[in-house]
Structures are given as structure tokens and as C-alpha cells.
A and B are shown apart, each in its own frame.
Chain A
């Protein structure tokens, strides 16, 4: 078979392939700007949030030496760690105080163990006034070289010396970095601080040779452990150390455990104390309230959709405006309307009192509780139920009902056995849409829900703006996102995202 050639002499097949490839590239080139825009402005923020829900480098960043020293400590022993850990903590805390990162770490660990925040604050205030200045004095008295900043810098450039004095080198490096970053000074012009001398003392006491010989026999050793305990007895509490150790890895599932009312214990997840369990209840409440809103929407939306689908076009178009107007009205307008209507001195209660159904003394409590949230949100989400239901019902031929009736079915049987099953896809689509929308609602529950009628999203907002526990907010958000995405997938399967209709 001879090969068919295109006008330019190439094989036709190759030429067509090239055209197809061109077409694909052209389509992608048109989509690319938007795709990049969405990826940067929307997808990356979401990915960042997911990452934050497991990220936990604050402990290992702020207390790197302590975390390392704690490796050797057995958290199950019920004992306080030994002096070596306190030495590491001293260096870490002295540096963290300068960076002012100890308060942030304190509030982070406070989510896990109440009281840590104040412990860190207190320690930060006093860690510079430890009795360790005796070491510095002893070294300086022994040789003026120890008080010479340039000499120190020279020593710390010498690799052999660094190997001999590991703790000193480490403390000096941390100090030098801090001097540059926080104070904007040159380390070679500043005399090292007490904690560097303390590290040097500890190195020497463990048998290392100091750069210039010193006699330290006259120096009374300072127990850092006691120094810390003097600030606060909590440093003796193994729970504090356990918390630091548990939260020292760079990644944690702690926030997720917290979002389902668990916490990290020394051996895996354990239940939180009764008084701190709120999230499971909140998730269940969010689910139940979303389901009731969904149910209310079906109940109220079905008759309306049926009426709209079966009335003559002129009338139904007019009535459709009554559905579309709320749909187009600002969410806050509708919420404020309900806030005004549902108040104890509001229009509904006034009317009820005027009719005489309710005594003036015991007006109904319709707002700042679950009733308020359910009423207002049903109203807000009702169009989202009516519109998909309507578009499905519009496709059901009315002759089916007539056929059923002429075959002897009663009105109810004809509806229930013939009409209803055909409208189920519409119910499904509307239900998923309403459920997805309601489960993540924030504004309306916040304004009319009081304390009992709020959703999980209100808790997320609380953690971001008030408690500043961002990791927990991110974990709660991730769980909510997972639920919504599963429902979205189901919706896509049933309805198809291409078939989403807006405003009829």
C-alpha cells in the first residue's frame, strides 16, 4: 500500500499527528495561565495548610541541644533527666531568650500541657542571671586570654581545639550566630557570655585540655538543675520533659490526634481528659446539623420544585424569581434579616405575642442556638436544593403520571412508584450540594448560632484568630477538607461537575 502524502510531501499520518499535537498544545497554552494562577493563589495555600497540620519543627529548632540530650533519657522512668540535659537546656534557653523564641515555644507546648507557657516565660526572664558567672570569673582570673574576644575567635577557628572541646565549640557557635543575627555585632569583638564559659568548664571537668591551663579546683560547681528548679519547681516534673520529648520530632500527628480528642502519650495515642474533649462532639454536631438542614431543604424544596416544573412556563418563570431573588441576595443581608426576625424583641416573637400564641413574658428563644442556625441556613441553602431538583423534574414527562393513573394507580401510588424514583437523581444532587455547602459554613452560624449552634469551621476560625493554635486549625481544616472532597468526588460521579448549573 502506498503511503498517502499531504500537500507538503510529508506522510499524511505524521502530518495529522502533528496537527493534533499542535491543537493540544494550543489548548494547553490557553489553559496554562489560569491553571498557574489557581495553583499559586489557591492550591498552594491549601497544600501549605495541609503541611502545617503535621509540621512541628519549633521544638527541635528552639531547643536543638536539649532534644539531642533527651534522646538518652527514658521517659517511662518517671525521673527528671540528668545534669547533662539541664546543661543543654541552659545553652538553648539562653540563646532562645535572645531570639525571643522561647515564648512561642512555650505557647506551642502549652496546647499540650497547661502551664508550660508561664514556665518558659519565667525561665526566660531569669536564665541570664544564673550563678554560672563564677565560671567566667574563674577563667578570666586564671588568664586574661579568656577575656579576650579576638583570642576566643581564634581558638574557635582551630579545628583541633574544637574537637577537644565539643561543648564549648557548639555553645560558642550558637552564641556567635546570635550575636550576628540579633545584636548585629561582630563575635570577634565581643566577650562570650556566661553559658559559653559554663560549656568550657564542663568540657574541662570531663577531662579536656583547655587552651590555656587553668586551675579550677577552687571553683564551687554550680548545679544547673538546681538553678532551673529554683526558678520553678515544674522543671522537676517528668511530665514537662515528657511533653518536650514527645513533641521534638519535626513532624507530628499530634494536631490530628488533638482534633479527634486524643493526645500523644509516652506510648502512643491516648484519650484526652473528659473535660478537654470537644472536637468529636463538634464534628458530630456539625454532621447532625448539616443533615437536618439538608432534610429541611428536601422537605421544603421538593414541593416547590414540583410546582415549578409542572406549572405553565409563564407562571413558573414568575415564581422562579421568588427562588432566584434569595439566591442572588447577599448572604449577609439574609443573615441580618434572620438576626432581626428571630430576636426576642424581633418581628416573629412580636407577631406571636400579638396573635396570643406566646405570652409576652416567655418569648421564644429562636436565636443564638441550634434552632437559629438551622432556620437561617435552611433559608440560605434552599435555592441550592430547588434548582437541581427543578432541572431534573423538568425532564420527567408528565404523561408518565397520567399513564400510571389510567392503569389504575391511585394518586399516591402513581407519585411514589412512578414519579418519585425518577426525581431521585435530583434529590441526590441537591442533597450533596446542600450538605457540602452547609458543613463548611462559617458566617451564619457565627452570627446566629450562639455557642450551641456553631460548626467546626467556627472553631477553626477561633484557633486562627484567637488561640493562635494554627497547627490544630490546620488539622481540623484538613479533616473537613477530606470530608468535603469525598463528597465532591461522589457528586462528580453522580452528577458530573460539568453539569453544575448556576441560577437555572
Chain B
């Protein structure tokens, strides 16, 4: 839509402007629900709508009491701590395993590449409720299947444990790491690793000194995706976790389902701030990655 030509007819003019209005309305639909949360979280009353005082911009209508609730309530604090304990470990697991596998997958001769890729991406495609169901059954009584023999039951359970949730979240985060890192590796010039090897660097040195710095933006953005997947995940943790693993989204979910308290809006605002920060970091990474790609030949 490169502006309106001077010879445009009235009909075209009307359409041009009404199209912009329509697009404006759709953007409004996209962004307004998120923005409206922010002022509402400063409501001095326990209401979910704008009070007359708020509309009159009376300072008495606003307060930070819902934020105070969040930072003093033991349930919310436990949830926050759990989220911060689970997500980084799950991210670390998926990033380390995922990056290795992505490097393997991007080599030129990989047998069954398509099938392996399909398996590794599947946690993103399978509906969460199905993953949660399967994990709920399997983690509560894990076993090793042996063909023609039956199964050897393992003497522990993962349901309701910290590691069960971490394992599940790591699995859910892996597709994102695989996708972003393989995408970065497409632009990676393999002759650089050969050059490093030529100059006497071992595979480990080559990886950490040559390859890693170049694909780092992809690895970090994959990690951010994995982190947000775990940090934002509620279905699987509802099934696999127990009250001891209650995370922030879980607490929000029960809060929304049972007694909806305005503290949720304060939490939501904090999370919006976090996602704005994440978006910002990702954008920087994307630019950096493009610049790096521009530098390497090919």
C-alpha cells in the first residue's frame, strides 16, 4: 500500500481509508485486552472494571495494593519461587541437548533425518492435554518396555516431584530450541569449522571458540522460547506436578477458576513487563544474528 495515487477515484479513496480503519480496529482488538489489564491492576477497589474514581483520574482511585498482595502472599511467593526454580533448569536441559542435536541434524549426511526431525518437533504439535495425559500415566509409574518380555517397572515415581515437572517442561521446550538453532545453522559456513580444524583445533575447541559464538543468537533465542514455554506452561504441570510444584500460571489458573482476585491482574502486569523485555531481547538477537550472517561468506 504505497500511498494513494493522485488519480484515485472517490471509491478508491473511501476504500483506502476504511481499510486503514478496519486494520486499526483489528490492531486494537489485538493489543487492547493486554493494555487494559495494566491500569486495572492499579485499582484501589477489588473490582475488575474501571471505577468512577479511576475514570476521573482521581489518585484515590489508584493504589498498588494488589502488588503488595502479590509480594506478601505466601501462596503467590511460593508459586513465583517454583516457577523460577523449574523454568531455568528445564531450559538448560533443552538448550544443551537441543543444541547438540541441532548441530548433528545440520550435518550433510544424517540417516532418517526427516523422521528424527518429526519426533523431535512432535512435543510442539501434540496438544498439551494429550502430552499431559500421557505423562500423568507414565510418570506416575515409569517402566522400561522390553520387547517380547514385558516391562520392568522402575522403583520410583516422577508424578508430583520437581524432576518430573522439569523433565516434562524440558521435553516441551526442545522443539523451539531445535527450530531456532537449525535455522541459525543454515546460515553457518561449515568451512569455518574446517578452517579451525586445519589450524589444529580439536572438535571441542572448534565448537566453543568458532561455532558457538556464531550460533549464539540462535541458541539464546531458542533458550528464551524454551524458558517462556516452561514459565507459561500450566496444563502439564497441573497433571504431573503436585501442590509442592505449584507454579505461577497454575496459581493464576486456580485463581481464575475459583475466586478471581485482582492480585491476578497485578501478576499479569508483571508478566506483561517480562514479555516486553523478552521481545526486546529477541529483536536485538535477531538483528545481531542477521549482522553476523552478513559477515560470513556465502
Contact = CB atoms under 8 A, between A and B. Distances in A.
A503 B138 CA distance: 33
Contacts of B109: 20, 23-24, 27
Interface string A304-322: 1011001100000001011
A43 interface: yes
A337 B129 CA distance: 22
A173 B47 CA distance: 68
Contacts of B76: none
Given A328-B279, A329-B34, A333-B271, A474 B111 contact: no
B133 A488 contact: no
B128 interface: yes
A440 B100 CA distance: 31
Interface in B105-146: 105, 107-111, 116-123, 125-139, 145
Given A46-B130, A333-B37, A502-B176, A34 B107 contact: no
Q: How large is the interface on B (under 10, 10 to 19, 20 to 34, 35 or more residues)?
A: 35 or more
Interface in B180-236: 180, 182-183, 225, 228, 231-232, 234-235
A332 B272 contact: no
Given A303-B26, A345-B48, A443-B253, A24 B134 contact: no
Contact of B234 (A43, A329, A332, A457): A332
Contact of B119 (A38, A446, A481): A38
B98 A34 contact: yes
A442 B129 contact: yes
Contact of A303 (B19, B30, B265): B19
B264 interface: yes
Nearest to B180: A502
Contacts of B40: 340, 347
A362 B195 CA distance: 75
B133 to A, nearest CB: 5
B30 A328 contact: no
Given A33-B101, A34-B120, A337 B34 contact: yes
A470 B118 CA distance: 28
B97 interface: yes
Interface stretch (A74-82, A244-252, A492-500): A492-500
A23 B2 contact: no
B40 to A, nearest CB: 7
A42 B171 contact: yes
Contacts of A502: 176, 179-180, 225
A242 to B, nearest CB: 29
Interface in A470-494: 470, 473-474, 477, 480-481, 484-485, 488, 492
A33 B36 contact: no
B27 A304 contact: yes
Nearest to A483: B127
B264 A336 contact: yes
A379 B29 contact: yes
A350 B49 contact: yes
A330 B31 contact: no
A23 B107 contact: yes
Interface string B254-296: 0011001000110010011001101100100000000000000
A350 B138 CA distance: 48
A447 B238 CA distance: 14
Given A30-B100, A31-B104, A447 B256 contact: yes
Interface of A: 20, 23-24, 26-31, 33-35, 37-39, 41-49, 52, 300, 303-304, 306-307, 310-311, 319, 321-326, 328-341, 343, 345-347, 350, 379, 382-383, 398, 411, 436, 439-443, 446-447, 457, 460-461, 464-465, 470, 473-474, 477, 480-481, 484-485, 488, 492, 497-498, 500-503
User: What 10 A-B pairs come out closest when comparing CB atoms?
Assistant: A440-B127, A30-B104, A45-B134, A45-B138, A34-B101, A457-B129, A49-B134, A337-B33, A31-B104, A333-B268
Given A306-B1, A442-B127, A477-B134, 5 more contacts: A303-B19, A339-B256, A347-B40, A481-B127, A488-B125
Interface of B: 1-2, 12, 15, 19, 22-23, 26-27, 29-31, 33-34, 36-37, 40, 47-50, 93, 97-98, 100-101, 103-105, 107-111, 116-123, 125-139, 145, 167-168, 170-171, 174, 176, 179-180, 182-183, 225, 228, 231-232, 234-235, 239, 249, 252-253, 256-257, 260, 264-265, 268, 271-272, 275-276, 278-279, 282
